[in-house]
Structure 1
Amino acid sequence: MIRCRKILQIMNQQCHFLQRRMVHHFADSSQWGATSQKDVHMGLGVSVYPERVDVDAIVQYLGRAGTLGYSRVFSCLLSAEGGRAHVVERFSPVARAAHEASMALTLDVSPVVFERLGISPDDLSFFCDLGANAIRLDEAFTPREVAALTHNPYGLAVELNASTADGTVAAVCACEPDRSRLSACHNFYPQRYTGLSASFMEQESRAAKELGLGVAAFVSSGQPDACGPWPLKEGLPTVEAHRNAPIDLQARHLFATGVVDDVLVSNCFASDDELRSLAALDPATVALRVVPAKGAEGPLFNALLGSSLRVRGDSSPYMLRDSDQRARLAPLGIAPHNTWGLVPGDVAVVNDRGGRYAGELQVVLKAMDNDGTKNVVANVVEEERFLLGYLGPWSGFSLLA
């Protein structure tokens, strides 16, 4: 009777996790480029490693993350030592804390873990009893076996490794899995220079999305003592270019691609400021950090910050235009100022000389002459200009100081 109640409790905990997976499955996956049609059902998660850090600290950390709206917890059995009793002792408190914070727990496993713990692919009750909501297969069984795992009676979801490019994801999907319980999650990479290229990550994520699967990827905390499941402390990103980048930029990039649904912090513990910076993001909007142009600090610059902006549908190779800002900004009175030649990354506003175009916001993509009607108000910081490539017709974006 006690076990039945526990199974029902775990299955109820699956609801939010699986509902989000079903949204990913049934969402229109025909367009994954620079468009405004991004999945708004995106989520955030954290990772914890009870083999490496104090369990009481983990419990407090999950409580803070849950309060901020984080919905997922990742942990790793690949690095866990000992048998079943030891795993239960170390990981059960993590599962309880995750559920108390309304977060779903995913455990990273492999066939080796199954063998070491005496778990049969036909019986996933151990993971259910442990309190897991999902298992991630770092290395997979046969496609037919993985498909069968998704039909388990405990409601456990199954995540495939999205980073391997070995055909496993497509092969599993050909074996009639329960796709509402199937998704894909990228690796993280402890060793410097071993992470994925951004283009490869997007390629493999897009392949999974085209099969109707949700995709998760990892970002890395910049805290010097943040750790993962292994001794190295060189960061734990999915994308190598993210290793030394601010955590919010890592996440903004992943969300901007339109092919990553969930972003998980891979190492622990992220600082409270880092957690808050991710929680403040709008995953459906490409956020660009800017600095004021020379002498442009003031009301006009401030009016650009934090506003919901949108690229016009008739795109130009020279600029991204938001004409809707005319009605909002023109009444401020925009005297000509900083009307020098325009270069990529400039954020310009048409001044009073522009007539009916006054107040229009323009983000410059290619160098061009300035006829004196455009005030350079801000500049996208150099290290974030690559994000402009993810903006296209009707894309939503915003400017951050």
Structure 2
Amino acid sequence: MSIYPDHSDPAADKKYLATAAENGFTRIFMSMLEVSDGKAAVTAKYQDLISYAKTLGFTTTLDVAPSIFDQLGISYQDLSFFAELGADGIRLDEGFDGRQEALISFNPQELNIELNMSNNVDYLNNILSYNANDPFIYGCHNFYPQRGTGLPLDFFVACSERFKNHGIETAAFVTSPAGTIGPWSINDGLPTLEMHRDLPLSLQTQHLFATNLIDCVLIGNAYASDEELQQLGALNRYQLTLPVQVNTTASPVEKEIMLTAQHVRRGDITDQVVRSTEVRKTYADVANPQHGATHDFQRGDVVIGNDSFGKYKNELQIVLQPHHDERKNLVGTISDTAAFLLDYVTPWAKFKLEAI
């Protein structure tokens, strides 16, 4: 999660961190872009918060810019100030010439150096070409407080691939609808991707993990609600869990197939549906008569083969293209806001369905 010590109350920050730690959060992005106090006051404030966070098991990355170095009278050639605060790394909000970043990565304090990922240029290769200390190089996207200014998905993918292709650990931001605190007076949410700005926090997070391009998801604004923290703490980052509105005509066995089974998309895919075929073997001897729901299916509908479908009885499918088939029963529908996640149910992908 993210903390903004110059815009928040330390007691509220600590309460937020404690709740997050209870739900499995382990990393803090802490902004230093807008510090206004003197060096002594800044030191006391940040040391106190970072020290408390360490007792909860957090690592902390400080977001810094050249102006902060000038303001506090410190140098990129000596990062001991940040180590004394207790930080585990610094994020360079602005870059240098490559040679400088490579040299900084050998800092004797062994602080991680986090690079801005949100530019599709050869920045990383330039740094690595100066024989950087690779294990201490990380990547982190920007967030975008102004509506309409977040990254488009294709650009985000291109930027992220540059880092993943080198095995660099990556991070990006999601935004909490409940959050009101950020670094600037404009705060229309703090996502990396513009498409995430108005989505539920759990869907944003699932999407970033589903891209297989992001290792760490950070909540950009503060404070996420307790309910949101609990939802993210329970989220399975390793496979998609698609939210489904269960049809009132779905039978008990259909609900069991839909909501309890481990689903796997067949490797020999089709454009019309996502096929989860293993379940039909488990339920081969279980009757499943046709019922009265519509058999005209739209994208996002969840269907299960009924008794008239022969060997395909009790096979679960998610509709990708509209079609009609009376041999399939409509049992649920993926929510409209989550339908874009179907693009990430790739060949052999494992997925779950969860009632909403």
TM-score normalized with structure 1 length: 0.84
> 1:335 corresponds to which residue?
289
Shift of 1:303: 4.0
**Identical counterparts, % of pairs:** 38
> 2:34 corresponds to which residue?
79
> 1:319 corresponds to which residue?
273
- 8 Å contact from structure 1 (residues 348, 374) kept in 2: yes
Tell me how large the CA RMSD over aligned residues is: 1.7
Question: Within 2, Cα distance between the matches of 1:328 and 1:70?
Answer: 37
| Residue type of the alignment partner of 2:198 | N
Question: Within 2, Cα distance between the matches of 1:228 and 1:262?
Answer: 19
CA change 1:208–1:243 in 2 (3 A) is: same
> 1:92 corresponds to which residue?
47
Using CA pairs under 8 Å that are at least 6 residues apart, name the structure with larger relative contact order, 1 or 2: 1
State which of 62, 69, 72 in structure 1 corresponds to 2:17. Answer: 62
Shift of 1:327: 3.1
- 8 Å contact from structure 1 (residues 287, 398) kept in 2: yes
Question: Within 2, Cα distance between the matches of 1:386 and 1:326?
Answer: 26
1:376 has 2:333 as partner: no
Shift of 1:226: 2.3
1:230 has 2:184 as partner: yes
> 2:4 corresponds to which residue?
49
1:351 has 2:290 as partner: no
> 2:320 corresponds to which residue?
365
Shift of 1:213: 1.1
1:287 has 2:241 as partner: yes
State which of 220, 226, 239 in structure 1 corresponds to 2:175. Answer: 220
Report the 3-state secondary structure (helix = DSSP H, G, I; strand = E; otherwise coil) of the residue aligned with 2:170: strand
Q: How does 1:108-119 map to 2 (within 5 A)?
A: 108-119=63-74
Q: How does 1:209-288 map to 2 (within 5 A)?
A: 209-223=164-178, 226-288=180-242
Shift of 1:356: 2.2
> 1:162 corresponds to which residue?
117
CA change 1:137–1:315 in 2 (3 A) is: same
- 8 Å contact from structure 2 (residues 261, 279) kept in 1: no
> 1:22 corresponds to which residue?
none
Question: Within 2, Cα distance between the matches of 1:169 and 1:389?
Answer: 29
Question: Within 2, Cα distance between the matches of 1:127 and 1:329?
Answer: 59
- 8 Å contact from structure 1 (residues 63, 97) kept in 2: no
Q: How does 1:76-225 map to 2 (within 5 A)?
A: 76-223=31-178
Shift of 1:157: 0.6
State which of 290, 305, 314 in structure 1 corresponds to 2:259. Answer: 305
| Ranges in structure 1 where 5+ consecutive residues have no aligned partner | 1-45
Report the 3-state secondary structure (helix = DSSP H, G, I; strand = E; otherwise coil) of the residue aligned with 2:296: coil
Question: Within 1, Cα distance between the matches of 2:187 and 2:306?
Answer: 50
- 8 Å contact from structure 1 (residues 347, 376) kept in 2: yes
Shift of 1:165: 2.5
Question: Within 2, Cα distance between the matches of 1:110 and 1:174?
Answer: 23
